[in-house]
Amino acid sequence: MTDVATLPPPAAASVTAGMAWIAGGRFRMGSEAFYPEERPIRPVAVDGFFIDPHPVTNRAFAQFVAATGYVTVAERPIDPAGYPGVPAEMLRPGSLVFCRPDGTHDARAPASWWDYVFGASWREPAGPGRGAARDDHPVVHVAFADAEAFAAWAGKALPTEVEWEFAARGGLDGAAYCWGDDATPGGRVMANTWIGEFPRTGGPAGGTGGTTPVGAFPANGFGLFDMAGNVWQWTVDWYRHRPGEPLAGGCCAAAADEAARALSFDPAQPDIKIPRKVLKGGSFLCAPNYCHRFRPAARQPQMIDSASCHIGFRCVVRGG
């Protein structure tokens, strides 16, 4: 695995060049109107920070890889010890790719629309021979370590969940969406989300069958693009189903982090000790009938070693 501490820095004159400054403040985090993991609504304060105006693109990620020789998790050999019970023939580099289920599959079961595709990675998001990554689209098939490595190289960091949600709201405290309380104001589709009944009818609003170029849909009140839809985005926070509850970690930051990490395990899968981070923003696969999570308060757990065709990230720089 590449040691991010030894990666050469980018040649940019200023780390914050092109980033948006968010002045910080207080806001009401969470929502009571949708999913239980978003509750309770709670007052939160956040300091000022810079944030990328859109998710990291394939062009930017390719520059990182060219400068460092970095190999993503999806491209690396798999250690069988970490995946007990998984057939050996499945332990090959690859990633999860959406595949619309046909009439022979149960459309309510996620396994019917996800394929583990050997060789799928940020370079060829749909799999080998199915098209190269497009420069101005968000990079996908990035695991948490991949996003962290890019951020470290760029002299940046991944956002906290609080920073991400505050930025996504664009100054509209308490609104359901990044643009207000109406999902489609005046009938206008505001993000690259699934239009129709997921997963059988319709498809992503961008018309590409997947991601769209960054900035293809309107920016929010802070001038930020793709804070809803297109790709889910990594944050640094360990996932907790009840985010408002205090952690039992004492005064030591390391102990608190370890406690949060342990709570991120899935209790329904006690044999799988893979911690989960919080994803924010929803993706091109979000639809009200299945995943109404293209909203600032929405959140989802993701195993840190996993990647897929609808997960990307953006970076922050703290302080001003």
| pLDDT class of 5 with cuts at 50, 70, 90 | very low
Q: What is the pLDDT of residue 101?
A: 81
In a domain, 181, yes or no: yes
Predicted confidence (pLDDT) at residue 256 exceeds the cutoff of 90 = no
Q: What is the pLDDT of residue 249?
A: 55
In a domain, 132, yes or no: no
User: Residue 151: in which H helix or E strand, if any?
Assistant: helix 144-154
CA distances from 148 to 140, 151, 265, 284, 299 (A): 14, 5, 20, 23, 19
Bridge partners for 43 per DSSP: 28
**How big is the chain by its Cα radius of gyration, in Å?**
19
d(CA 219, CA 102): 35
- Percent of residues, the chain, with pLDDT higher than 70: 90
Tell me the pLDDT of the chain averaged across its residues.
90
In a domain, 69, yes or no: no
* Region 170-195 average pLDDT: 96
Q: What is the pLDDT of residue 250?
A: 56
Domain of residue 220 covers 18-57+137-318
Residues 126-136 pLDDT 10s: 999 999 999 99
Stated pTM of the model: 0.92
* Region 18-28 average pLDDT: 96
Predicted confidence (pLDDT) at residue 6 exceeds the cutoff of 50 = no
Predicted confidence (pLDDT) at residue 244 exceeds the cutoff of 50 = yes
DSSP 75-124: GSPP-GGGSTT--GGG-SSEEEEE----TTS-TTSGGGTEEEEET-SSSS
In a domain, 312, yes or no: yes
CB burial of residue 84 (10 Å; 0-12, 13-18, 19+)? exposed
Q: What is the pLDDT of residue 151?
A: 98
Predicted confidence (pLDDT) at residue 265 exceeds the cutoff of 70 = yes
- Percent of residues, the chain, with pLDDT higher than 90: 72
Q: Give the CATH number, domain containing residue 288.
A: 3.90.1580.10
| pLDDT class of 90 with cuts at 50, 70, 90 | confident
Quote the DSSP letter at residue 303. E
* Region 36-55 average pLDDT: 96
Number of domains in the chain: 1
In a domain, 173, yes or no: yes
**And the tokens for 106?**
């149960």
d(CA 114, CA 120): 13
* Region 261-281 average pLDDT: 83
* Region 173-181 average pLDDT: 97
d(CA 192, CA 195): 9
In a domain, 311, yes or no: yes
| pLDDT class of 236 with cuts at 50, 70, 90 | very high
* Region 254-263 average pLDDT: 83
Least confident stretch, 8-12, 61-65, 170-174, 267-271: 8-12
In a domain, 244, yes or no: yes
* Region 42-63 average pLDDT: 97
* Region 7-31 average pLDDT: 83
* Region 7-32 average pLDDT: 83
Q: What is the pLDDT of residue 246?
A: 67
In a domain, 64, yes or no: no
Amino acid occupying residue 107: A
